[in-house]
């Protein structure tokens, strides 16, 4: 049966599978693009953006890889396609392809509105070790400084320069210095924290990085982040922070951690809502409601397939609502925004669409109405 569902807010489109770094927490770089001829073509992606813009004029496109900037023409074509349709574009890149001021300025003018650079630490040795390449730190920091400079020069107030940091056993006690470096030294708009999960695209039965680096004292981490919130005026969402503590408590309870995604336990609580806001479209044009292929997807072939998939996926959603996999903590799928401002935006969207799926609906309705009134 076709039921009314609020429109998607984020569509993730994958450009490639390969990468020029060798991250210890990701196996994507072990893949290649030898089957590129079978990929969903840019023209097909742009037609999906037409459907998305018709469904939700304030939707977002997330351009993903691999390292998406290795295919720089496809990258800018997609970003421009989003801009032309009034869709906000976002992307996380490793910074290695932003080497000169001209490229930084092109990124600001024609690239994503929200440019995130992956950086695992302000300590060079930690970043380089976990990114698998000596010199990766200098490249990421150079890209950030060029982007901040270009943004200032061009007065691009609608572009945000963000650092996407992964937190794990070797760096969680250093979070204060990380915020200081990102906000005060580099001058980026925000440091977004992501928390270690089993290795992305894990290819082997054993997951060494997850086994070695998931040993984080969740309570200690929460108190460190809370202190940073006070010190740097971050406006963090207390419910998100509570869930971060719950997440690491859940990790500590896993007996077979070395198995990564195949480990027997998930998180204590269900914390994702990817199915209510996201569509992930893989290299071959298969649409899903999250990155996991444990839930059914649909290959997009005809015009209208994207809209039909979204509107008819309630059976899939019903199953996903009971999923407690570790990826639920990821910034792209978790229900709770890390900041109070982000939470207000999300609640305003729920008010506008009349959808509440959390226990304290009345409280959220009032909160959302206040956000809309501002
Ligand atoms: S927690 Fe489950 S439903 Fe949510 S993103 Fe992960 S696999 Fe998908």
Residue 175, ligand 1, Cβ within 6 A: no
Token readout for 292 is: 């996991």
Residue 285, ligand 1, Cβ within 6 A: no
Which of 266, 323, 326, when mutated, tests ligand 1's pocket best, judged by the most ligand atoms within 8 Å of its CB? 323
What is the rounded CA–CA span in Å between residue 58 and residue 368? 17
pLDDT range class, residue 259, cuts 50, 70, 90? confident
Q: Is the dihedral of CA 139, 13, 105, 188 positive or negative?
A: negative
Residue 278, ligand 1, Cβ within 6 A: no
Q: Tell me how crowded residue 313 is: count the other CB atoms within 10 A of its CB.
A: 22
As a whole number, mean pLDDT of residues 124-152 equals: 97
The pLDDT of residue 373 is 58
C-alpha of residue 346 to centroid of ligand 1, in Å: 19
β-pair type (60-64, 88-93): parallel
Higher per-residue confidence, 94 vs 207: 94
Distance in Å from the first CA to the final CA of the chain = 38
Q: What interhelical angle do 238-252 and 218-232 show, nearest 10?
A: 160
Residue 323, ligand 1, Cβ within 6 A: yes
pLDDT range class, residue 4, cuts 50, 70, 90? low
User: At residue 316, does pLDDT exceed 70?
Assistant: yes
As a whole number, mean pLDDT of residues 215-233 equals: 97
pTM assigned to the model = 0.91
Locate the domains of the chain by residue range: 10-216+276-327, 339-374
Residue 267, ligand 1, Cβ within 6 A: no
The pLDDT of residue 370 is 59
> What is the per-residue pLDDT across 55-67, written as a single tens digit (0 to 9) for each?
999 999 999 999 9
* Residue burial 30-64, b: 16+ Cβ < 10 Å; e: rest: ebebeeeeebbebeebbbbbebbbebbeebbbbbb
pLDDT range class, residue 1, cuts 50, 70, 90? very low
User: At residue 374, does pLDDT exceed 60?
Assistant: no
User: At residue 2, does pLDDT exceed 50?
Assistant: no
CB 148 within 8 A of CB 188: yes
Query: What is the DSSP secondary structure assignment for residue 41, as one 8-state letter?
Result: P
> What is the per-residue pLDDT across 263-303, written as a single tens digit (0 to 9) for each?
878 899 999 999 999 999 999 999 999 999 999 999 999 99
C-alpha of residue 272 to centroid of ligand 1, in Å: 6
The pLDDT of residue 357 is 52
Least confident stretch, 112-116, 134-138, 349-353: 349-353
- Over its C-alpha atoms, the chain yields an Rg (Å, rounded) of 20
Residue 320, ligand 1, Cβ within 6 A: yes
Which of 268, 328, 330, 357, when mutated, tests ligand 1's pocket best, judged by the most ligand atoms within 8 Å of its CB? 328
Q: Which residue has the tokens 């056993």?
A: 169
C-alpha of residue 271 to centroid of ligand 1, in Å: 9
pLDDT range class, residue 362, cuts 50, 70, 90? low
What is the rounded CA–CA span in Å between residue 118 and residue 140? 7
C-alpha of residue 320 to centroid of ligand 1, in Å: 7
Whose C-alpha lies nearest to ligand 1, atom 2?
323
The pLDDT of residue 326 is 93
User: At residue 359, does pLDDT exceed 50?
Assistant: no
Q: Coil, strand, or helix at residue 150?
A: helix
Residue 274, ligand 1, Cβ within 6 A: yes
Residue 279, ligand 1, Cβ within 6 A: no
Query: What is the DSSP secondary structure assignment for residue 185, as one 8-state letter?
Result: I
C-alpha of residue 294 to centroid of ligand 1, in Å: 9
Distance of CA 83 to the CA centre of its chain: 20
What is the rounded CA–CA span in Å between residue 299 and residue 309? 9
As a whole number, mean pLDDT of residues 178-189 equals: 98
What is the rounded CA–CA span in Å between residue 342 and residue 335? 11
Residue 182, ligand 1, Cβ within 6 A: no
Residue 289, ligand 1, Cβ within 6 A: no
Task: Name which CATH class applies to 10-216+276-327.
Answer: alpha beta
Ligand 1 atom closest to Cα of 271?
1
Residue 333, ligand 1, Cβ within 6 A: yes
- Average per-residue pLDDT in the chain? 92
The pLDDT of residue 365 is 60
Whose C-alpha lies nearest to ligand 1, atom 8?
290
Residue 272, ligand 1, Cβ within 6 A: yes
User: At residue 368, does pLDDT exceed 90?
Assistant: no
The pLDDT of residue 358 is 52
Who contacts 77 (Cβ-Cβ below 8 Å, separation ≥6)?
Answer: 42
The pLDDT of residue 199 is 81
Paired residues of 118 in beta bridges: 164
User: At residue 371, does pLDDT exceed 60?
Assistant: no
Token readout for 270 is: 């269900």
Whose C-alpha lies nearest to ligand 1, atom 3?
320
Token readout for 247 is: 């997440």
> What is the per-residue pLDDT across 8-44, written as a single tens digit (0 to 9) for each?
999 999 999 999 999 888 888 889 999 999 999 999 9
Residue 292, ligand 1, Cβ within 6 A: yes
């Amino acid at each position: 049966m076709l039921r009314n569902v609020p429109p998607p807010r984020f569509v993730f489109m994958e450009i490639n599978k390969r990468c020029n770094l060798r991250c210890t927490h990701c196996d994507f770089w072990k893949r290649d693009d030898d089957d590129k001829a079978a990929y969903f073509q840019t023209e097909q992606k742009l037609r999906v953006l037409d459907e998305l813009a018709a469904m939700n004029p304030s939707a977002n496109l997330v351009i993903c890889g691999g390292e998406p900037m290795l295919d720089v023409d496809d990258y800018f074509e997609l970003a421009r396609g989003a801009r032309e349709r009034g869709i906000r574009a976002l992307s996380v890149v490793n910074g290695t392809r932003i080497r000169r001021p001209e490229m930084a300025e092109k990124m600001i003018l024609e690239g994503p509105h929200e440019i995130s650079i992956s950086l695992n630490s302000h300590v060079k040795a930690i970043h380089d070790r976990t990114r698998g390449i000596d010199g990766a730190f200098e490249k990421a920091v150079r890209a950030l400084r060029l982007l901040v400079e270009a943004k200032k020069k061009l007065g691009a107030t609608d572009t945000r320069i963000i650092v996407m940091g992964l937190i794990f056993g070797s760096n969680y006690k250093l979070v204060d210095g990380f915020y200081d470096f990102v906000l005060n030294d580099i001058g980026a708009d925000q440091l977004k924290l992501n928390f270690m999960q089993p290795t992305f695209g894990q290819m082997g039965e054993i997951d060494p990085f997850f086994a070695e680096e998931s040993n984080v004292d969740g309570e200690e981490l929460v108190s460190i982040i809370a202190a940073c919130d006070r010190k740097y005026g971050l406006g963090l969402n207390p419910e998100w922070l509570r869930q971060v503590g719950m997440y690491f408590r859940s990790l500590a309870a896993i007996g077979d951690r070395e198995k990564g995604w195949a480990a027997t336990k998930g998180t204590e609580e269900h914390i994702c809502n990817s199915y209510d806001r996201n569509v992930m479209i893989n290299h071959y044009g298969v649409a899903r409601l999250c990155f996991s292929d444990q839930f059914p997807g649909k290959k997009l072939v005809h015009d209208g397939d994207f809209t039909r998939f979204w509107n008819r996926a309630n059976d899939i959603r019903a199953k996903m609502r009971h999923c407690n996999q570790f990826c639920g903590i990821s910034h792209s799928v978790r229900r709770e925004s890390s900041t109070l401002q982000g939470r207000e935006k999300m609640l305003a969207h729920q008010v506008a669409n009349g959808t509440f799926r959390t226990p304290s609906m009345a409280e959220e309705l009032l909160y959302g109405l206040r956000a809309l009134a501002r």
